[in-house]
Structure 1
Amino acid sequence: MLQPRDLVLTNFHPERITSLSQETDSKACAHTENASKLCADEFPLTLLSQLLIVTSLLLGLLLTPALATSVSQQEIIGGDFQILTINKEWHVATIEKKSTHGSWKTIWHYDTGFIATRVLPEKVCFASIMKIKEMPSFDALPALAEESRQMKRQGRPAKEITFIIRTPVRDLMSYGPDIFVMCNELKTYVAYEVHEPQDTYSQGSCIRLDVLHLLGLNYCRDNITV
């Protein structure tokens, strides 16, 4: 695909364009009645049209990459809508569920290695380090979500990750601007992934999220009250 930097304009000077246009159009005017009047009217339009074409081309080349960096798709999981948004430029996946039974939003930042989840109506956020190897592939995520929807899987997600909620986040901005905006006005806690026996945390107080039926996120209380 042609990139903006690959576009090279040579001899791009208004006077040069006018000269070339007049030289070409004068041949046609020579065989036309009232040639002087007709050509005088057409030369300014010729210059203007060339400038508009060049401007349109430049704008198209600049805008096309920007429009292709983010894509969204909507899936129905367990009767509720989940919206998956992929930002290809920043390698960020955002999944959001809006429901009367409880809305939530989770941001997976594959570049920085952070994951953050906002849960409503609890009005709380959890931020943690994301282990890339345990997450669905970023590039394959849209296809995996569509496959899961078509298969209409039932029961629990194929894979689950459990986090223990422990301490409040001190520097929310360090997790990135998108996570900061999502969690800034809510209580936000650091959540640590665990592979410990279930008796080390309270199973009854876990918040369980089914993300696209691909991954279950379990946030369980430890020794703090959310």
Structure 2
Amino acid sequence: MFIFAMLCPMLMATGSQGLSPDLQRFQEFVTTKVRGLGEEVNRTLEEIVKDVDLHRTALVKNTVIVGQEHLGKVKKFKNDYLERAGAVQSKAPVKSGGQAPTPRPGDLCVESLGPVIHRINDAERALAHCVMKYIKSADKIIDDTNHAEREFAHKFASITQRINPCVTLHQGTPDSERNIRSCLEQIMDDGQILHNEVLPSIHRSVQMLQDFHNHPETDISHCARGVGMEYFDIDKRHELQFQLERCAKS
């Protein structure tokens, strides 16, 4: 978290010359307190970013691998089906590893291929869309976490930059010590509020990713069930073979 490291020099207590020892100690206390809050958020951010990255990597790996498996199954079904269609159309046997004849446009069997090919294409599109949707969703959660980090750095900087002006602006004015103390107390309160707002927000982001990763409906297999992967087993589609043979005889 280089952002926080850049902010740390802002927290050095300066401009305290001329203050009472008690107020100097209070300024140092506020500086230490605010810095401690920032360091706690920073440590948490470092842990969360690592955790989010691990979840995202695992999610993408699983999504891509399983998605490729399903797409590979659909592609194999398509190749096998077209090979059998070509063989039936030419009344030639299917040769293992050989190149079967391809049906010609206008043939009766070509027309019977339409619904099957349409279903194949729909399945390929749905699976590809599913893979991209889940990856983009995971990326959005990471973007939200990064945004939370940047927002924290910006707000934290605005708070720390007010410490020294508390002294320089109020020093030498009527009731200067009371005003300086009040100003420093407000900074400490603002730092605590920022701390209390940021950490829960970041934890919610990482929890969303964990829930997303572990939820059954964000598994690529959910999409596979949606497209009916059980259909894409050529050896179980006896009705397709019968249809091909029937149209070849007509």
Question: TM-score, structure 1 length as denominator?
Answer: 0.29
Larger Rg: 2
Larger proportion of helix: 2
Larger proportion of strand: 1
- Greater relative contact order structure (CA < 8 Å, 6+ sep): 2
Question: TM-score, structure 2 length as denominator?
Answer: 0.27
